[in-house]
Structure 1
């Protein structure tokens, strides 16, 4: 959620920090700040965007080869200059940037107040800065030890970078539940919440694990546990390039990522499906294949868009592998005393691999002894490390806060897993198995066909850009796509929208329909087609406006709908991958026409690392 960037080395830190904060803007934020250290500390911070911070520091001292920056997504205290990071301790000994939540900050704040500490902000982070300082001064110990002792008293999640005035040239980083990556250069180190601010300087990185502390100077990096065990840094090479984080001529990252989906879906199945349709190979689950084949139940845990992908997975696993499936919100799963058996298979889905609620669900499941698979997009992420096995989506970095290509890549992985399990369990006949593989291989070309219709879809968007509400409806595999379409619209255009199973409309939501209510109907030519015709008639009988997503050549629904968007003919199993594309395009253009910040919608963050 919040974005952290820091540097220690021989270069001037300021340009690295500002560029890093710009690269982290996609995570969502409401204020920004930097601290630069050149013998004394200079902290500059303000409510607003990075460009506001750049204006603030004009004519200020921005020298120094050590520094840290931060973009804040508010948890404690409203967006304001005083609540922006970095925060300094009362006596000025420590500067801190923090991602996460200190849950027991109220208790710690009261304790520090009784010791004479005062506070200038409403944040939990300032409490932590003062706690570290208090321990440091009272016990007359090193900054690193003071940090470890302070963190041993903290309840909650954190990604931290800390600077001590008495130990110049050194940064201390720590992590629990909130990601931090360290880029390793030539006598210089780069720290960030993710790799995007780092990749133009080095391709050598290490990811901090929970309850690890890094002590960093330009000469060396020392890694310890909170309990003072010395650890060996695990440095890896990353393949992310600058091209992945540039718009490449598109007006917004979201539009670029919509258009990347033919390539990202191909990248997801490339090397995993035989082009002759004979087999699927998922190396990431090979070691646990016997457990997968013999699973009595699958539980899918996810949040947001990933949860919608999980709902698609439910249909696919039950149909092709004949295994019962439950799809759970990660945020609810851990709190409702779920019944978990050792022979359950749990699949955790997360774009970032750092979603706090999904991680908490994973840890609860592992306590019960079930097998956990991860589906995520970020190599080296926490979910990829904490699960027993898994599959990367290979969607590439997704900058737009509203997920597009990550969603279709997740569905691609789920479809491959369902087909593979169906083949192994002998519940999916070989002929149909081969047909489905060929259908999946054909998807990227069919999406290209849909993308060529963008101008037509844009014209439809112009008709509905000023509505206040919208309904989405679908059946079977396209019901989760209706949910996803509604989520996209409200995420980026701020129009209230809801998705429903089409047959449920008459159990309440149909009361909302009048001549001002657009209804987006997912009506591809599948097993529910005739039922969808009836549901659309119900909407039209109440003067609702219908925008229908139909299979190319459809004649029946065309006669009823106000607007029709065609998708190529396809197998029902891959229909979600095609049907969601027009909905993404519609939402994008409606949001642009309304003047919304498409890539950074208000109040939202890309990587949700707090509960």
Structure 2
């Protein structure tokens, strides 16, 4: 759950200032993956001819700058560093390799000594790392300390850097690729690594196992213009180019659309303008036979998603984008006139294979799990196939029974959620049909599943998911409709849902307009609360869970989502005159039951604020305040009902002075277990 970024300019003259700005900008765009601390590693360059020598880069200890806090704090420290005086910043170099990192702490507390890049004892190896090394204590104790190595941090990453030094000095492995092969076979766990060394100036090793890593290539012509055509792998090293290494392709999307996604077990070796790819999956020793080819792809990303525009925070922008993002998730997939569906990943054979399954499992974590919870009743209603709901983090802790006639659907906004990938691995091994639903093209989920669907929600930057959630509900609803297209008894029900989908973007806009003022008032009312309950039933049980999660993530107020049906099984004991309760009471088949439960809470002096689409005097009498949203078909009402809670979470967080886009202790992409 960290962000890594590497940048190489090869035969592209740039000042040191330009190189640093490029690295900090790239790092800023992966900051959502972690923002406890940050750092970068550069060549130690000097404007003084007496200090340059024959080769400014060769065998010099690199300049490593680290800082607690976000990227802005790192920027301030970088440009205040004495080694980067004004003259040095203006030095022009035509070949440079730099690495950078923004951290979400997994091993070691948040302090400067634990920031990345981490270095070996002699300073010759510098490493940035996303992931968790599971055997670092064993290697630290049994190999490195026994050979006299010391450690200044509490991180697993420093163990990797020191282990590289051990392999070079004690084992005599003086070939960078061979050394990296040995290194990756000694360390266990998930990782994405960038390694540079003064022993191998101008070179870089990039390694991937279980954590995402993507390479972007930008070719520059002699006239300085960027070539837009697809790039070949520069086998002769003659082309001028810029190369980007990152956890997320959006970090360099403004510079290039040419990308290579590293596969699990891959090593990418950069030297003299040439990138070579090797797989460690089959071979434990470096050899020419380990070299593999990797496909260049064209990145498809909407650049305007990468800025906040007129909004003060990404989260607010993404809340207000939901009319557009849900429409985009439906575009080209449903014809509202004919009622026909078209999914690129679901041809007739794939549809039939799912329908022939004996069971469907929806597997996800967090917000994605709530989207599955919201749509499971519709799957059961339309398909009449047993549908299970699995929390991936619980799934991997058990020995669940998976068979080859199961269809397992994996939902992950990033496509890199560690627990989801572990569950996916188990289901693939069992021979189940694996379907992926993700918002990131080229992600691990999209590449490892048999077929799937892209959300098309647009990039989501805010750590607290909003538009990805509503797009997940839309796409899963479309999938249920596609799979039930041949069911004549369900024709009227399907037509009702399709009509609701056609109205959805406009209804989202109406909802935002309707709830803006009352939600602002309620946010002021609740900003000092220390504990809240959110109640829902039926489809809106998922809304209650998602609302509680949003409030916890952004406001830091303890909030629990509870089904109305569970209230009398213990939670009613929490109700008194001091307790604020948020409720959802939609005009559906559960309306009377929900209203009765609200009246029971009111009878115990609980103060209830309710989201509803119904004008009802009894409900109004039992509640402190009602917030009205438009009415839509029941299975899509969850989308309109969650929007007031998204806004409420945002507004309370702002009133409490919280960092809305980057809540404390959290990261957007959960790549560790």
Does the TM-score normalized on the shorter chain lie above 0.5?
yes
* Residues 187-586 of structure 1: pairs in structure 2 closer than 5 A: 187-217=241-271, 219-226=273-280, 227=283, 228=286, 229-286=290-347, 287-424=349-486, 426=487, 429-453=490-514, 454-586=516-648
- The 1-side partners of 2:259 and 2:378 are apart by 37
Partner of 1:133: 165
Match of 1:109 among 131, 140, 143: 140
Matched position secondary structure for 2:114: coil
1:50-65 equivalences in 2 (<5 Å): 50-60=71-81, 61-62=83-84, 65=96
Q: CA deviation at 1:195?
A: 1.4
What SS class does the counterpart of residue 79 from structure 2 fall into? coil
Q: State the alpha-carbon separation in 2 of the partners of residues 221 and 554 from structure 1.
A: 67
CA contact (8 A) 2:311 2:317 kept: yes
Structure 1 residue 455, shift from structure 2 partner: 2.2
Equivalent residue number for residue 73 of structure 1: 104
Q: CA deviation at 1:321?
A: 1.1
Structure 1 stretch 278-287 or stretch 126-135: which is displaced more? 278-287
Structure 2 counterpart of 1:120: 152
Counterpart position of 1:91: 122
Alignment of structure 1 residues 581-600 onto 2, 5 Å: 581-600=643-662
Is the 2:382–2:490 Cα contact (8 Å) retained in structure 1? Answer: no
Question: How far 1:240 sits from its partner (Å)?
Answer: 1.6
**Counterparts of 2:649 and 2:352, CA distance in 1:** 42
1:159 aligns with 2:192: yes
C-alpha separation in 1, matches of 2:531 and 2:630: 29
CA deviations on 1:110-144 (whole Å, 9 max, x unpaired) are 11110111111000000011111211222232122
Distance 1:427 1:35 in 2: 64
Q: What secondary structure is seen at the aligned counterpart in 2 of 1:199? A: coil
Q: Using the alignment, how far apart are the partners of 1:59 and 1:239 within structure 2? A: 37
CA distance in 1 between partners of 2:398 and 2:272 (Å): 48
Structure 1 unpaired stretches of 5+: none
Any gaps of 5 or more consecutive residues in structure 2? 45-56, 220-240
Which residue in 1 is equivalent to 2:6? 6
CA distance in 2, matches of 1:259, 1:58: 37
Distance of 1:473 and 1:28 partners within structure 2: 32
Contact 2:610 2:626 in 1 (8 A): yes
1:35 aligns with 2:41: yes
Counterparts of 2:316 and 2:574 in 1: how far apart (Å)? Answer: 31
Q: What secondary structure does 2:410 align onto?
A: strand
What is the CA deviation profile of residues 543-593 of structure 1, one whole-angstrom value per residue up to 9, with x for unaligned ones? 111111111544432232111111111111111111111110111101111
Instruction: Tell me the secondary structure at the aligned position of residue 260 of structure 2.
Output: strand
Decide whether the 8 Å contact of 1:8 with 1:170 is kept in 2.
Answer: no
| Aligned partner of 1:177 among 210, 213, 236 | 210
Larger mean Cα displacement after TM superposition, 51-60 or 150-159: 51-60
The structure-2 alpha-carbon separation of the partners of 1:277 and 1:173, relative to structure 1 and needing over 3 Å to count, comes to: same
Structure 1's 343 and 259: CA in aligned 2 closer, same or farther, altered over 3 A?
A: same
CA contact (8 A) 1:269 1:413 kept: yes
CA distances 1:135-180 after superposition (whole Å, capped 9, x unpaired):
1222232122111111111110001111011211111101011111
Contact 1:8 1:217 in 2 (8 A): no
Contact 1:117–1:130 (8 Å) recurs in 2: yes
Cα separation, 1, equivalents of 2:625 and 2:65: 52
In 2, distance between residues paired with 1:210 and 1:290?
30
Quote the Cα distance in structure 2 between the aligned partners of 1:50 and 1:405: 26
Q: Aligned pair count?
A: 610
Per-residue CA distance 1:178-208 (angstroms, 9 max, x = gap): 1111111122201111012201111111111
Change (3 A) 1:428 1:465: farther
1:427 Cα offset (Å) = 6.9
Q: Secondary structure of the residue that 1:584 maps to in structure 2?
A: helix
Instruction: Give the TM-score normalised by structure 2.
Output: 0.89
Mapped to 1, the partners of 2:646 and 2:458 lie a distance apart of 18
Q: Structure 2 CA distance, aligned partners of 1:337 and 1:241?
A: 41
Paired residue secondary structure (2:251): coil
Task: Give yes or no for contact 1:516–1:544 (8 Å, CA) kept in 2.
Answer: yes
Worse overlay, 245-254 or 132-141: 132-141
Q: Is the 8 A contact 1:489 1:497 kept in 2?
A: yes
Which has more radius of gyration?
2
**8 Å CA contact retained: 2:410, 2:420:** yes
Deviations 1:222-269 (A, max 9, x none): 111123411112111112243111001101100000000001100101
Measure, in 2, the Cα distance between the counterparts of 1:285 and 1:322. 19
Mapped partners of 2:625, 2:635: distance in 1: 25
